[in-house]
């Protein structure tokens, strides 16, 4: 039933809202992409290496390849003397082998010559012609990167479900995997509603507001590894909104900001209900309580507040977990948590989860979480100044100054 000009008779708890959302989103199908486009994607298959990495025993230092046993007992007072029989260059297979009492000059990354099993750092040696004085002993394998010590042929080097960061991209390149199978990135339509909105770039006329939500929410979508598609601004016209919702189901998800509360012009929840199914409207959380969620033509649609801070908090609490789940990642993936002491008390409303934005600072060795003084749902600065947030549970009315709290970090 519509809540316009009636108000919310009840709110859905955040935990229940998330259960509903996660029951309706499914992982997307895999696709094959070139390696250079893989950053931020999630592997859809195990990657088995066909090669050893490194592919040969190589020196980890600049110095001399030796037989470790020939250096035993060496010291600054009583150095061991070896005979240098040649050198090994990087990228060139060694043509020499070492016998008892012999050494070879070697650079970092060069192939260890036959007969050697360790490398002595140049700092621990002194060369006089072909005679090398060694002032410190080495054990077998010392200063050597052994063949396959990083990855062995036949080993699962990267598992299905792994997010591809720069290190994973480098490892895939080292294995020669130039094409990879990943979970397709969600494509998300982002719509702003409100006849009072104009696009940024020009001074808004009197009583008009700049549409900032499309840009901030699109950035949120990108931060989750998904692809945003701007759907522009819809006026306060129910038929226009419904038409856009129907057409936007070519995307994997739709996010609508504005028009989600209980005012006369808050048309989005009804539009979702009339084009599909509205599964909940009104969440027991602040900011972001007018948020709603439904399904239109099989695609998830989120209704978020038009107030910037409330829209971003609603995205964090509701949309982000859904986007991660669509990519086979845990709903809370990528959010670190730390414990801190609250710098001052925080009051809350029983029955509603409070999302308190905080900045962090150190004081006498302790980490303090300072609640951001600006509390309005429209204030961007409550987020631009925040390092993270503290969630005050629905059954807690107040957190005291000095109380230890868990802070969810934004990055």
Confidence (pLDDT) at 364 = 86
CA distances from 305 to 123, 155, 256, 258 (A): 64, 49, 8, 5
**Distance in angstroms (rounded) separating the CA atoms of residues 120 and 209:** 69
Q: What is the pLDDT of residues 96-108, one digit of tens each?
A: 999 999 999 999 9
Residue 374 has pLDDT above 70, yes or no: no
What confidence tier does 5 reach under pLDDT thresholds 50, 70, 90? Answer: very low
Domains of the chain: 14-28+185-326 (3.40.980.10), 32-52+163-183 (3.90.105.10), 58-145 (2.170.190.11), 337-409 (2.40.340.10)
DSSP state at residue 172: H
What confidence tier does 2 reach under pLDDT thresholds 50, 70, 90? Answer: low
Q: What is the pLDDT of residues 137-195, one digit of tens each?
A: 999 999 999 999 999 999 999 999 999 999 999 999 999 999 999 999 999 999 999 99
State mean pLDDT over 322-339. Answer: 95
Going by C-alpha positions, the residue among 180, 224, 190 that lies closest to residue 325 is: 224
Token digits for 352?
A: 């509603």
Q: What is the pLDDT of residues 266-295, one digit of tens each?
A: 899 999 999 999 999 999 999 999 999 999
Length of the chain: 411
Q: What is the pLDDT of residues 223-282, one digit of tens each?
A: 999 999 999 999 999 999 999 999 999 999 999 999 887 777 789 999 999 999 999 999
Q: What is the pLDDT of residues 45-88, one digit of tens each?
A: 999 999 999 999 999 999 999 999 999 999 999 999 999 999 99
Confidence (pLDDT) at 380 = 77
Q: What is the pLDDT of residues 179-210, one digit of tens each?
A: 999 999 999 999 999 999 999 998 888 989 99
**Distance in angstroms (rounded) separating the CA atoms of residues 10 and 13:** 10
State mean pLDDT over 315-324. Answer: 98
Confidence (pLDDT) at 9 = 65
Contact at 8 Å (CB) between 275 and 298?
no
Contact at 8 Å (CB) between 57 and 147?
yes
Confidence (pLDDT) at 3 = 53
Confidence (pLDDT) at 12 = 95
Confidence (pLDDT) at 99 = 97
What confidence tier does 338 reach under pLDDT thresholds 50, 70, 90? Answer: very high
pTM above 0.85, yes or no: yes
């Amino acid at each position: 039933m519509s809540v316009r000009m009636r108000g919310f008779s009840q709110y859905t708890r955040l935990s229940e809202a998330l259960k509903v959302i996660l029951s309706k989103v499914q992982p997307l199908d895999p696709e094959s992409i070139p390696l250079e486009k893989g950053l931020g994607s999630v592997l859809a298959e195990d990657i088995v290496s066909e090669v050893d990495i490194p592919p040969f025993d190589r020196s980890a230092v600049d110095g001399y390849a030796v037989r470790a046993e020939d250096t035993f007992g060496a010291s600054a007072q009583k150095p061991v003397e070896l005979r240098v029989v040649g050198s090994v260059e990087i990228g060139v297979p060694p043509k020499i082998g070492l016998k008892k009492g012999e050494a070879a000059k070697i650079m970092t990354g060069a192939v260890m010559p036959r007969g050697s099993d360790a490398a002595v750092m140049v700092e621990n040696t002194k060369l006089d012609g072909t005679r090398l004085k060694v002032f410190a002993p080495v054990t077998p394998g010392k200063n050597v990167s052994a063949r396959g010590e990083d990855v062995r042929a036949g080993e699962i080097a990267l598992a299905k479900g792994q997010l591809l960061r720069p290190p994973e991209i480098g490892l895939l390149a080292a294995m020669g995997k130039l094409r990879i199978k990943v979970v397709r990135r969600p494509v998300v339509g982002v719509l702003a509603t409100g006849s009072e909105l104009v696009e940024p770039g020009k001074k808004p006329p009197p009583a008009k507001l700049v549409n900032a939500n499309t840009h901030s929410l699109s950035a949120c979508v990108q931060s989750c590894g998904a692809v945003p598609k701007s759907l522009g601004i819809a006026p306060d016209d129910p038929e226009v909104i419904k038409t856009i919702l129907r057409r936007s189901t070519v995307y994997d998800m739709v996010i609508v900001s504005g028009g989600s509360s209980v005012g006369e012009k808050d048309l989005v929840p009804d539009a979702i209900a009339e084009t599909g199914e509205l599964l909940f409207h009104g969440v027991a959380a602040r900011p972001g309580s007018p948020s709603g969620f439904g399904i239109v033509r099989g695609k998830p649609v989120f209704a978020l507040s038009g107030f910037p801070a409330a829209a971003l908090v609603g995205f964090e609490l509701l949309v982000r977990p859904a986007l991660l789940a669509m990519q086979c990642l845990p709903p809370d993936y990528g959010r670190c948590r730390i414990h801190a002491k609250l710098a001052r008390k925080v009051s809350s409303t029983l029955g509603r989860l409070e999302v308190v934005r905080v900045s962090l600072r150190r004081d006498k060795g302790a980490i303090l979480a300072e609640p951001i003084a600006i509390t309005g749902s429209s204030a961007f600065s409550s987020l631009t100044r925040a390092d993270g947030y503290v969630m005050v549970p629905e059954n807690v009315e107040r957190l005291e100054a000095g109380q230890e709290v868990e802070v969810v970090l934004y990055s």
